Amino acid sequence: MTTATTNRQWLLARRPSEAVKPSDFEYQEGPIPTLADGEILVRTIYFSYDASQRIWLTEDGGYMQPIQIGEAMRTVGIGQVVQSLNPEYPIDSLVEGFMAWQDYVVVRADGPMPLRILPVADYPLSWHLGVFGVAGLTAYFGVTDGLKVKPGDTVVISAASGATGSLAGSIARAMGAKIVIGIAGGADKCQWLEEKAGYDATIDYKNDNLTERLSTLCPEGVDAYFDNVGGDMLDTLLLHMAPQGRVLICGAMSSGYTDVQLQGPKNYMRICTHMLTVQGIHLFYYHDRLQEGIEELARLVKENKLYVEENLYEGFEKAPELLPTIFSGKAPGKLVLKVSDPS
């Protein structure tokens, strides 16, 4: 039971039409919400930063309800149960799931993803948002189940320094790939990928000629492409796929996610002529396999086969200013904001 009386909140003040800005949100202090049947009151501890938050800010909302003006900004987060009308979520449990940019948030267990009770473990709690959260699980199921990476494959991963890509490379390596190539913006990020994140080679999409580098690094074509970027990069990759290669559509960072309607690839006839397999991935479809993924990721971490990088910020007041950095060149790894301590 909480004795707090103030609930700090960041509400959507206006719907952005282009890049999201901190001024699109306004600060407010509201009351602590009350619960209806089955609901759980959670005190938030960590906020995750994900490109898909920009999709939820569109009129359409994409794959979730759009966030309405005056509503607290939705986020994936970690928090602690302070009141509960659901016996499966006792008070003091640490949980991960959909929350909002506020101190106290009402959550339900019957959303599109399970509200996960987090185990006591010998790694940082915030890793449940990164390597053991959406990023790690998408990387794991994307490489294994989506792309079906196998020994000898030439694998390319875009947005490779991001939360997902920085793990997907090592997972592909663990599956026996012959060479794992990461695409990232800038020499520093490429160096980080090769020195820390286990990539064999990199392409700096801001300074290199993508076509030339792919021809040099993948003379026999790309067997598996993990696409986080879409747009022109996907079009170029389609021209470099090996016959019967596999493409996983995971995201479209190049679009900025300002609209849910995007132009498809121009070179899509390569899918026909090279008999490519193009598959999407969305973690909602793996909701009943999450534990399996977490166990495999934990094994890879334990065997030192995965390098985990977190950019951890602190302070509730920073919530809006961090969101645009997802699209404007954040540091490698998983971006997380700590807003309170567990009790």
Tokens matching residue 120: 């006591």
Give the whole-angstrom CA distance, residue 202 versus residue 181: 5
Q: Which is nearer to ligand NAP, 180 or 252 (CB)?
A: 252
Tokens 């809006």: give the residue: 320
Binding mask 200-239 for ligand NAP (x = CB under 6 A): ----------------------------xx----------
Residue 26 or 310: which CB sits closer to ligand NAP? 310
Beta strand pairing status for 334-338 and 116-117?
Answer: unpaired
C-alpha radius of gyration, the chain, whole number = 20
Residue among 94, 283, 297, 323 that touches ligand NAP (CB under 6 A): 283
| Closest approach of ligand NAP to the CB of residue 186, in Å | 6
- Which of residues 9 and 255 has its CB atom nearest to ligand NAP in the complex? 255
The pattern of x and - marking residues 161 through 200 that bind ligand NAP according to CB under 6 A reads xxxxx------------------xx---x-----------
Position 138 contacts ligand NAP (CB under 6 A): yes
Assign 72 to helix, strand or coil: strand
What phi, psi does 190 have (nearest 5°)? -65, -40
| Rounded Cα distance, 169 and 96, in Å | 25
- What x/- string results for residues 2 through 41 when contact with ligand NAP is judged by CB under 6 A? ----------------------------------------
Cα distances from 292 to residues 154, 168, 286, in angstroms, run 26, 16, 10
User: Among residues 153, 159, 160, 151, which one has the least CA distance to residue 244?
Assistant: 153
Question: Which pair of structure tokens corresponds to residue 190?
Answer: 């490429």
Q: How far is the CB of 171 from ligand NAP (least distance, A)?
A: 13
Q: Report the alpha-carbon distance of residue 116 to residue 294 in Å, rounded.
A: 12
Nearer to ligand NAP, 69 or 285 (CB): 285
Binding footprint of ligand NAP on the chain (CB under 6 A): 50-52, 134-135, 138, 159, 161-165, 184-185, 189, 228-229, 250-254, 281-283, 326-327, 329-330, 335
